[in-house]
Structure 1
Amino acid sequence: MKPVKPVKPVARVARGAREATEALDLDKLYTARLYAARVRPYLATALFALHTVESRTVPTMAVDRYWRCYASPTFVARTPVDELAAVWVHEVSHLLRDHHGRSDRVARELGLTGPGERLRMNIAADCEINDDAYGDGLVSPEGAVRPGSLGLGDGELMEDYLRQFRLGPWTQDLAWLDCGSGADGHERAWDLGPDGAYGLSAQERDAVRFRVAQGVTARPGNISQGWQRWAEEAFHPPQPWRELLGAAVRSAVTGPGAGDDYTYGRPARRSAGLPGVVLPSLRRRPPRVSVVIDTSGSVSDAELGSALLEVAAISRAVGGRRDLITVLSCDAAARVVHPLCRAEGIPLVGGGGTDLRTGFAAALRAQHRPDVVVVLTDGQTDWPDTRPPCRTVVGLFDRPGSSGGPDEDDPDYAPDAPPDWARVVAIG
């Protein structure tokens, strides 16, 4: 997006009078939206779902979580149509990717408060969008924040970028940035709120996202990897791993070594007894998670793709700490254990029969024993005879019948259900 340029002092009075009477040029704004829909047709449903609201308080253009787009008359008047089209795409991308909801969750989990942290969230969300948003008929708006301008790599999520930078010299020129509450979840003075006119209900917002996801999957060869990844998750929402791993998180927090690192972000309560001295508090460690993926011949490529989506969701559930997650593929034998770098880069090797007992054994032999083992499988396997010394979650691929396993030719074959000591959820 485009920063507001400073105005010479001698022109301030005249410009202020002009702004007070200048009306929003809806013809120009809607022409830009049509341009955006032409160059990004898969976003057309979302672009036309936005309701435009004139605002003289908004620096440029901004959105709220109810799919209203607030536009500054001055910004619209001085911005070329092709750049306005790019801004339309940028703002609706915040809403489609649920940046407001994700920012709220991150703020709660990490205790982030204040306008500075919300600005960081907005910058991180912009990096997620802008790394591959422009080109192919869409110009890059002046001042658009890209990961490279902060020394960061492309292709990551808002949560990943948020961990990698702080406000400082590289961000001092971004204080103007404000994409609204639809980008960072924090309500603005100009927001009409949940009871205001023309807001979309939760069901309507979900319907828009689903239609856009359909448009993305219908033409995958012409769409960026970031949008393809988003559409896959829109059609296949990952499991709520924060809740599923909640017991393991609480166990890790209270277990030995759970508070083996210190932080000044939340001072220790003992500081109150020592005036003038700030003592750090122990930082809670998220659980270590070992993910065992069934790669036997009975598991389809689509199910393996679903497994990788779940791995990415598990990573977000533990705060993006990839160092706390290991992944191994297993059929009748456990393969190499991989530390998580990026879900798309995990080699899933296998194709034979299934015996996930070897996967459990390999996960528990790791240098750092996991607090929880997550197994993603079709269920056609033998299970350990005894309960592992950690919590276990089994994700079963949800499909009728079976298409593999040692007894696939037996019409009466039914795989054993997971043990009672495992938490079982359906995948897909």
Structure 2
Amino acid sequence: MNVAAARLWAVTQAPYLASALFALRPIEHPDGPPGVSADADWNVHVSGDLPAEEAGWWLIHHVGHLLRDHPARARGESWPLASDAEVNDDLPPPPFPAVSPDTLGLPPGLLAERYLELVGLIDVPPELVACSAPPYTGPAVMTDVERSLLVRAVAADIDAHRGAAPGGWRRWAEEVLRPAVDWRALLATLVRHGLGRATGRVDYSYARPSRRSVPSVVLPSLVRPVPRVAVVVDTSGSVREEALRRVLGEVDGVLRAGAQVDVICCDAAAHPPQRVRRAQEVTLVGGGGTDLREGLKAAGALHPDLTVVLTDGDTPWPATRPRHPVVICLITPPDPAAVPAWAHVVRVES
């Protein structure tokens, strides 16, 4: 088998994977049946005689498994089917019946772990060819540090070829280059930061006289005002109540230390504010269209120290920055371009 020709074909098909394709170390097995397989140490085992196009397709396939760390993620006897579905989702159909979301009748764009759950619910066509563990092994091609550097280099190449790389590879590169942050921790940080100036404010007030005594004089004492928080909840039909309740619970946990909270439900119009002490007390009202400009306008009228918005982002936004800090919790977020640049954004995991 001409490995150089196969690798050249693979690079022309997926130039964004060139670094990974050239990192593979070929090991030939003259007596083995025709095929291409790879082990977890980046050795590609070739035997027999396959056309360059078919062998190149397998090279891209195996690079997909290795870059996505499928050998380490493997679990369950159906893992080969599930991991192949994730990898082959981003490949053109080969000249043989291979496993893919389409051939399995499953939705595209999922991770192998989710395909593993779904594969157990369907009858898999017996003619589909799934990738299996190679019967060969070889020495490690690179160290863990070198492998990590290679993964980031490939992710950067994919980011540079965004117009050519399939969606699955773009999502993978995004996770490598900009790993997801725990949204709960980020939300807590942003809320506390937004309230920092309010909690740091002190002023003199005669409502509570000072303990210091001066004959014939009443002295004021220093008081710390209670922070005010407005929570605007998108109650249009596009946002699930279950998700809203979950995020409201997280906001509740952050604010439990003490803040005055007003919740404004908003669909096409802003509903009257609800003064609450706990998230469980909120009554979600609405269900029509969405215009959170009305909700933010209503929140501004309360002069809050911070506004927290719970939404899926499918709404018009104010063109200018509100006078108070705004944190937007995006539930099942759309294109980030739909979010205003003046807001702090937390992407809530579904």
The TM-score bracket by the shorter chain reads 0.5 to 0.7
Cα drift, residue 205 of structure 1: 1.0
Q: Kindly state the Cα deviation for residue 54 of structure 1 after the two structures are TM-superposed.
A: 2.1
Name 1:338's counterpart in structure 2.
240
Aligned ranges 1:366-381 → 2 under 5 Å: 381=306
Structure 1 match to 2:152 = 210
Tell me by how many angstroms 1:235 deviates.
0.4
How far apart, CA to CA, are the structure 1 residues paired with 2:18 and 2:307?
A: 49
Letter in 2 for 1:152: L
> In structure 2, which of residues 324, 330, 334 is the aligned counterpart of residue 406 of structure 1?
324
* Alpha-carbon distance between aligned partners in 2 of 1:94 and 1:358, rounded to the nearest angstrom: 49
Alignment match, 2:207: none
2:55 partner letter: L
1:245-281: CA deviations, max 9, x gaps? Answer: 9xxxxxxxxxxxxxxxxxxxxxxxxxxxxxxxxxxxx
Listed one character per residue, the Cα deviations across residues 346-397 of structure 1 (whole Å, up to 9, x for unaligned) are: xxxxxxxx99966895588699xxxxxxxxxxxx9489xxxxxxxxxxxxxx
Distance 2:163 2:231 in 1: 36
Q: Retained in 2: the 8 A contact 1:357–1:382?
A: no
Cα 1:206–1:381 change in 2 (3 A) is: farther
| Paired residue type of 1:148 | D
Following superposition, the deviation at residue 169 of structure 1 comes to 4.7
Match of 1:61 in 2: 36
How far, CA to CA, are the matches of 1:124 and 1:40 in structure 2? Answer: 22
Of 68, 82, 87, the residue aligned with 2:58 is 87
1:150–1:404: structure 2 CA closer, same or farther, 3 Å change rule?
same
C-alpha separation in 1, matches of 2:114 and 2:105: 13
- Cα distance, 1:293–1:229 mapped onto 2, change above 3 Å: farther
Q: Give aligned pairs, total.
A: 229
- Residues of 1 paired with 2:166 and 2:13: CA distance? 13
In the TM superposition, 1:413-424 aligns within 5 A as none
Q: Does 1:70 align with 2:70?
A: no
Q: How does 1:296-315 map to 2 (within 5 A)?
A: none
Q: Helix, strand or coil for the counterpart of 2:151? A: helix
Structure 1: runs of 5 or more not aligned: 1-24, 181-187, 246-290, 300-329, 342-353, 368-379, 384-402, 409-426
1:349-388 pair list within 5 angstroms: 362=279, 381=306
The RMSD of aligned alpha carbons is 4.3
String of CA shifts for 1:132-157, please: whole Å, max 9, x gaps. 312xxxx6242321112222111111
Could you say if the C-alpha distance between residues 405 and 62 of structure 1 is closer, same or farther in structure 2, counting changes exceeding 3 Å?
farther
Q: Which residue of 1 aligns with 2:136?
A: 190
Letter in 2 for 1:44: A
Name the CA shift for 1:93/1:365 in 2 (closer, same or farther; >3 Å): farther
Residue 57 of structure 2 contacts residue 94 of structure 2 at CA under 8 Å; is this kept in 1? yes
CA gap 1:295/1:199 in 2 versus in 1, 3 angstroms? same
Looking at structure 1, the residues matched to 114 and 136 of structure 2 have their Cα atoms a distance apart, in angstroms, of 30
1:198-239 Cα offsets, whole Å, 9 max, x none, are 522111111111111111111211221111100000102235
Distance 2:189 2:281 in 1: 16
- Describe the shift of the 1:240–1:29 C-alpha distance in structure 2 as closer, same or farther (beyond 3 A): farther
Structure 2 residue aligned with 1:166: 120
1:178 equivalenced with 2:131 (yes/no): yes
Structure with greater proportional strand content:
2
Distance 2:53 2:118 in 1: 32
Q: Say which of 144, 148, 169 aligns to 1:227.
A: 169
Using the alignment, how far apart are the partners of 2:102 and 2:145 within structure 1? Answer: 37
- The residue number in structure 2 matching 1:125 is 83
Letter in 2 for 1:84: A
Query: Could you tell me how far apart the structure 2 residues matched to 1:157 and 1:84 are?
Result: 25
State the alpha-carbon separation in 1 of the partners of residues 102 and 8 from structure 2.
30
Distance 1:54 1:163, change over 3 A: same
Residue 45 of structure 1 is matched in structure 2 by 19
User: CA distance change for structure 1 residues 59 and 404 in 2, over 3 Å: closer, same or farther?
Assistant: farther
Residue 183 of structure 1 corresponds to which residue in structure 2? none
In 2, are the aligned partners of 1:61 and 1:179 still within 8 Å (CA)? no
Equivalence for 2:273: none
Structure whose residues are more often helix by fraction: 1
Instruction: Give the TM-score normalised by the residue count of structure 2.
Output: 0.54
Give SS of 1:132's match. Answer: coil
- The answer to whether residue 99 in structure 2 is matched with residue 145 in structure 1 is yes
Give SS of 1:206's match.
helix
Whether the aligned pair in 2 keeps the contact of 1:51 and 1:69 (CA below 8 Å) is: yes
**Aligned residue in 1 for 2:111:** 157
Partners of 2:322 and 2:94 lie apart in 1 by: 50
- Shift in CA distance, 124/363, structure 1 to aligned 2, threshold 3 Å: farther
Cα deviation 1:2-24 (Å, max 9, x = unaligned): xxxxxxxxxxxxxxxxxxxxxxx
C-alpha distance in 2 between matches for 1:167 and 1:366: 38
CA contact (8 A) 1:59 1:178 kept: no
With 208-217 and 331-340 compared, the bigger mean Cα shift is at 331-340
